Structure 1
Amino acid sequence: MDKNERAIELMKEQKYEEAAELFNDIIEENPKDPLGYINFGNLLLHINDAERARRFYERAIELDKHAATAYYGLGNLYYEKSEFQKAQQNLLKVIEIGLEEAHAYYLLGMTFFHQEQFKLALPYLMRATDLSPEDTEFTFQYGLALAQSEHIDEAKPVFQKVLELDSNHSDAHYNLGVVALYEENLSEALDHFNHALAVQPEHALAANAKKQIMEVWDNTDM
């Protein structure tokens, strides 16, 4: 096990000071190698020292303009700070360089999603689900972006896939309930809202939707 591998293992063991010392040694021994700076940046970002992490990633890029993981680190950093346009710039660079990383596509899609540019989010979220089809969050957010883009028919099987991955995903049940309302199937909608509330009793949107269905039925019975 080389020093980089050992330092990464120390990070996983939450021995951050020891990992930092090793990364520092690596940089001193190989000051022109971007990998040491990238790994040290990852450590700093992990312990919420975003400003120092940014400097390490930028130094890595100075040494290698094609250091995809440095751009990925910056993209992740800016995403966590909700600086979505800066995150986009760096994540697009990751993809341009050719790093096929599901989480990079996911983050890029979500930068557009958070700016309510749902159609622009779609290809990146779809690619994230292609690369990591068992990831529940990637799949759910892709379905949500489809729904927000008014592709309701395409969103439905995606939410159903979420339930295949996690039958207790309350938000997937809620959104399938909304789809059922769109299809004018009140019984199916109510079933999904009840499932959402069984999993998450404080799910306000599901509770409100259920209340509205019950009011419609009460008025129909009158």
Structure 2
Amino acid sequence: MQEQDLQEAARLFNEAIEENPEDPVGFINFGNLLLHMNDYQRAEKFYHKAIELDSDAATAYFGLGNAAFDQEDYPAAQQHFQKAINTGLEEGDVYMMLAMSLQHQDHQKLSLPYFQRAIELNPKDETALFQYGLALAQTNQIQLAQQTFFKVLEVDERHSDALYNIGVSYLYEEDVDRAYEYFNKALQYQPDHLLAANGKKSIDDMLNQDNQEQ
């Protein structure tokens, strides 16, 4: 949003609060605007005011979760996102953010059911799909991870990180040719993808060494 648009939005939200000071929605909207501007402390005050007016204001807890997540306070984010779900927020985004809060605390296995629910609610969410794939890979569920990365490609065939991770999954299966193919594809769409370049170079080095030994 342009600064002029932000100022206009702030004016409108402020008017809404003045006209309906007992309505938590106005405070949540203003909090969301402040969150968008990275003004976390003021955003949190507006969310807390909304919760004072309505302790079941689920989107206020979601806002608090986003503010905590952006500031890398993942335990607090987890708590707020869980509270948003407990008070009735049933959207893919809140489940995905709860899963990612757990993921950032290295609770990979705990994150899996929340990623699954996020994808049930929004099957084409490439971020949720990709992060779910990573969590599966980190819990050694390589085949399921590979299937999930392929689902990412159904949404965005140029997703270089998904292509790279499919390459890694083929290495786990000792299918070097397919791994090389997917590292190449990742580099085709993102030439500066260092991990894919390293993966490709490792295979080249291994093949060269094998040729020299023959």
TM-score range, shorter chain: over 0.9
For 2:15 and 2:150, the matched residues in 1 are separated by 50
**CA distances 1:125-167 after superposition (whole Å, capped 9, x unpaired):** 1111111111111111111110011111111110111111111
Verify: 1:168 aligned to 2:151, yes or no.
no
| Correspondence list, 1:2-151, <5 A | 15-151=5-141
Match of 1:185 among 134, 159, 175: 175
For 1:203 and 1:25, the matched residues in 2 are separated by 48
Relative to 1, partners in 2 of residues 1:14 and 1:168: Cα closer, same or farther, differing over 3 Å?
farther
For 1:166 and 1:68, the matched residues in 2 are separated by 31
Q: CA deviation at 1:114?
A: 1.3
For 2:207 and 2:109, the matched residues in 1 are separated by 36
Give unpaired runs (5+ residues) of structure 2.
Answer: none
Q: Considering only aligned residues, what root-mean-square deviation do their CA atoms show, in Å?
A: 1.4
**1:15 alignment partner, SS class:** helix
For 2:63 and 2:39, the matched residues in 1 are separated by 13
Q: CA deviation at 1:12?
A: 9.2
Question: What residue identity is the alignment partner of 1:122?
Answer: L
Q: CA deviation at 1:14?
A: 5.9
User: Structure 1 stretch 142-151 or stretch 20-29: which is displaced more?
Assistant: 20-29
Provide the identity percentage: 54
Question: What residue identity is the alignment partner of 1:173?
Answer: L
Relative to 1, partners in 2 of residues 1:14 and 1:109: Cα closer, same or farther, differing over 3 Å?
farther
Task: Provide the residue aligned with 2:186 in structure 1.
Answer: 196
Question: What residue identity is the alignment partner of 2:32?
Answer: N
In the superposition, the TM-score normalised over structure 1's length comes to: 0.92
Q: CA deviation at 1:43?
A: 1.1
Question: What residue identity is the alignment partner of 2:155?
Answer: L
Task: Provide the residue aligned with 1:159 in structure 2.
Answer: 149
